[in-house]
Amino acid sequence: MIACRKHVTIKDPNSLVLSGLPFKPGQRVEVVLLAEEECVDRMTELRILLQETQSFPSAREISDDEITAEVEAYRTGQ
């Protein structure tokens, strides 16, 4: 499977032209369009959530050794 990522700025909301694609004429492709702002907003929200979670007093009390032990227990199915 060939994947191709293009970043473009929409000039006409009724039309999108892509050129220089690595596909053959007649080849079927799937097209997914993502607005960049939405991705940036979600990443900002996630970053804020993680900072808030890490500021909880209970999160400060967890040592690296405890985290490592919990990860190992999860991986071994305990």
Task: Give the pLDDT confidence score for residue 72 in this predicted structure.
Answer: 92
- Rounded Cα distance between 15 and 63, Å, is 54
Per-residue pLDDT tens for 15-52? 999 999 999 999 999 999 988 777 677 888 899 998 88
User: Can you give the length of the chain in residues?
Assistant: 78
Q: What are phi and psi of 63, to 5 degrees?
A: -90, 165
Q: Is the pLDDT of residue 55 over 80?
A: yes
Task: Give the pLDDT confidence score for residue 24 in this predicted structure.
Answer: 93
- In the chain, domain spans: 36-75
- Rounded Cα distance between 4 and 20, Å, is 10
Task: Give the pLDDT confidence score for residue 62 in this predicted structure.
Answer: 82
Instruction: Give the rounded percent of residues in the chain with a pLDDT score beyond 90.
Output: 45
